[in-house]
Amino acid sequence: MPGASVSINSGIQIDYGDRRYLLDPRDSVPSDYTFVSHAHIDHVHRPKRGAKVLASRETTDLAYARGYDLGETVDQLDSIDLLDSGHILGSRALRIGDEVLYTGDAAGRERAFLGRCRTRRARILITETTYGSPEYVFPSTAKLVKEVNTLISETFDKGKPVILMGYPLGKAQLLCYYFSAWGPLYLHESVARMNEVHRKYGIELKRGKTVDPASSGDGDFSAGPWLMVTPLMRGSSRFLSSLKRRYGAVVVAFSGWATDPGYGQYLGADYAFPMSDHCDYKELLRLVQEVAPEIVYTTHGHAQEFARDLKRLGFTARSLASYQSSLYDYLREA
């Protein structure tokens, strides 16, 4: 059988054998199968009626809870392997025979209830490179959790509440897992909704009081310190600025982009920690070495830079068109 061909057509297009696969497309375009790697909104779309969609059951349910009906999905197909990519609940990498491995968004380390990206050998590797630049090397999760617990403890001792911000799907559930021993606990409605889907799959996350800023403003909160988990938002937003003014709340943001000194300032957060659901630079290099491909295609983030670094290391590498170009674009990922 001739080797697979890789091109761009709304998403990444793979032609192999008698099948055409579209990987995380922006729009529904003709293909034999459309692969949805996970349920972040930059990776899901509303497929046309009758479209054949490859996705995990978790991704299908999470997408539906976010307003995206993927229709009838399958998670098994001959010559196809869906591998846990470790990014969020249900995220999958796609392996087509032993020809192509597409990582989707991938994590390089275990966190809470999530494992690291599983890899297998393939001739062609298509990898995300969100943090594909040498300055993005993250501290251990254990170190970050310890530092944040210390910060929460010190802030509670001052009688002030703490607001933890991360993507409502993925990061927010990790924040609930690691820090919900502190309380009383309040959850933004978008976080609470995603937590319910996690419980369906056996991941027990502490329940808290749900807060919907759209209907309840800044709410009615307990006297003294409390903990809230919310999506990423600007500190200047009406919701956060009111909580800071009325309760002296301390706002803490979580993202791999917090490696950049200006990230916390850009958001208006009091603190920012580089906790990521993606591979850092060293983990990306390890992933490539594990797959040992003949050619690497890079996409997202620092795609061109990482491809250049791989070439210096002796790999054949090429950058594909990037869907996201800067850290500020990721604020829309949610």
CB 122 within 8 A of CB 291: yes
Q: Which two tokens stand for residue 15?
A: 């032609």
pLDDT at 72: 85
The pLDDT of residue 254 is above 70: yes
pLDDT at 218: 57
The pLDDT of residue 3 is above 90: no
Which of 161, 170, 259, 255 has the alpha carbon at shortest distance from 211? 161
The three-point CA angle 238-163-149 to 5° equals 165
Give the mean model confidence (pLDDT) for residues 144-165.
Answer: 98
- Between 229 and 30, the higher pLDDT residue: 229
pLDDT at 30: 82
The boundaries of every CATH 3.40.50.10890 domain in the chain are 141-273
pLDDT at 330: 43
pLDDT at 331: 43
Q: How confident is the model at residue 16 (pLDDT cuts 50, 70, 90)?
A: very high
The dotted CATH code for 5-136+277-332 is: 3.60.15.10
The boundaries of every CATH 3.60.15.10 domain in the chain are 5-136+277-332
pLDDT at 333: 47
Three-state SS sequence of the chain: CCCCEEEEECEEEEEECCEEEEECCCCCCCCCEEECCCCCCCCCCCCCCCCCEECCHHHHHHHHHCCCCCCCEECCCCCEEEEECCCCCCCEEEEECCCEEECCCCCCCCECCECCCCCCCCCEEEEECCCCCCCCCCCCHHHHHHHHHHHHHHHHHCCCCEEEECCCCCHHHHHHHHHCCCCCEEEEHHHHHHHHHHHHCCCCCCCCEEECHHHHCCCCCCCCCCEEEECCCCCCCHHHHHHHHHHCCEEEEECHHHHCCCHHHHHCCCEEECCCCCCCHHHHHHHHHHHCCCEEEEECCCHHHHHHHHHHCCCCEEECCCCCCCHHHHHHCC
pLDDT tens per residue across span 102-116: 999 999 999 999 999
What class is the 141-273 domain?
alpha beta
pLDDT tens per residue across span 284-304: 999 999 999 999 999 999 999
pLDDT tens per residue across span 172-199: 999 999 999 999 999 999 999 999 999 9
